[in-house]
Structure 1
């Protein structure tokens, strides 16, 4: 058997969101500062990093509501510095867009996963605004993950 189903005692799942729109100007992790759900206490709202509490196969997903002024940088889900999922949004006339991605990966205990923009073009120093909500106040920038099977 390649993995054990997750039991209640080993459940790991989180869903976090951006509570207030902010500008991103670096390749640091996007910080989702508010927790909707976090069983296993793996997500850090200060650093924007999820740390695997156990070895296993995990599924991750993101959505980012963004407002760039002249271009949309690609966005990735990173595991220990390596891209494991990515998304890209094309320029629109409204100057707003959304990036989403989903992926599955195996993590060792204490391995880290985060979301970051892949590039900022040197000729366009404009930041990208990560948006916090829609017109009705629902979160539109969120990051989540769940342990599918534990080793």
Structure 2
């Protein structure tokens, strides 16, 4: 009887232990399933955030490209404007009459305007720079009397360079010329004048006395 009871108890204990194991396995499975579902939801949320960030990056990239295109268009536009300004500033004038008895600091009025792109040159001999930049200027003086003529290019009252023309006989045609490349600010004025006071005469025939300039860059 005792042996039979012990055996029965052992078997019942085995059954109880097995049930506990099954319960434990089911519990572990359920816990794992819950964790898996939680992880899956987290992954879904992370994926949604990644997608949203990707869309934001795409929008930002599109905005940057638009801004770059706008800036490039502006730069190109300014380059075109600058080239247009450069191409449009130029003048050429000659003296069409004889000028006698010039005095120190007297401006020479090259009055026969042949070219005036940009309308920056006045027939009184005065050029006013419409834009700042590097300019080329050249002037010449024609004389045919026994004398010397001292002339110089001026920018806002400051001498740049000079041309000294001298003839050794009457009716001995002589021409003096000076060329300069200088920076001129917008609004500054350029002209040619005498810088030595004496009785003198500048010829205006044949276009031998001239003044010209152009914006280089």
Residues 1:140 and 2:140 are matched in the alignment? no
**Equivalent residue for 2:154, pick from 51, 70, 78:** 78
1:97 positional shift: 2.2
Matched, 1:98 2:175: yes
Partner-residue secondary structure (3-state), 2:207? coil
> TM (normalized to structure 2)?
0.57
Indicate how the Cα distance of structure 1 residues 73 and 131 shifts in structure 2: closer, same or farther if over 3 A, else same.
Answer: closer
Structure 1: gaps spanning 5 or more residues: none
Q: Distance in 1 between matches of 2:145 and 2:128?
A: 29
CA distance in 1, matches of 2:126, 2:98: 18
Q: Are the aligned partners of 1:52 and 1:107 in contact in 2 as well (CA < 8 Å)?
A: yes
> Which of 166, 170, 192 is the matching residue for 1:115?
192
**Larger strand proportion, structure 1 or 2?**
1
Normalised by the size of structure 1, how large is the TM-score? 0.80
Larger RCO: Structure 1 or Structure 2 (Cα < 8 Å, ≥ 6 residues apart)?
Answer: 1
Structure ranking higher in helix proportion? 2
Segments of 4+ moved more than 6 angstroms: none
Number of residue pairs aligned between Structure 1 and Structure 2: 135
RMSD: 2.0
Q: For structure 1, which segment, 24-33 or 105-114, has the greater mean C-alpha deviation from structure 2 after superposition? A: 24-33
2:108 maps to 30
Aligned to 1:43: 121
